[in-house]
Structure 1
Amino acid sequence: MYEAEITIPKGEKLNIGKVAPQINDKTGTVLKGGADQILLPQDWPLEWITDIRVVPSK
């Protein structure tokens, strides 16, 4: 629904890795995983947000 652009201060530590495959137990939907993901520090400050926009739905 939203897309945010953030600026992460130099020296901040991030966890970077691949998304693991997942199966939705209720529907059986399989998400193959493998995409890149970046995990931000817990409770990161909202001041990092530099822009935000609404992503149009179809």
Structure 2
Amino acid sequence: MKILVRPTTTPKGSSWQVCLDQHAVSFRSEAEARRFVTVLEERLKAPHVLPDWSRRIAS
């Protein structure tokens, strides 16, 4: 996943965007945007347990 932090200007004023591939999320400040990226990257790097579908009982 490509993550990009960039400033942006809208009719309401300036803000910051975090772009995740083709999806953009807006923030009021660069600090908020960078905190979001930090949390996102931590969650992406965290170990994930996949369900054991072989133990699932068919109904």
TM-score by length of 1: 0.29
Higher helix share: 2
Larger radius of gyration: 2
TM-score by length of 2: 0.28
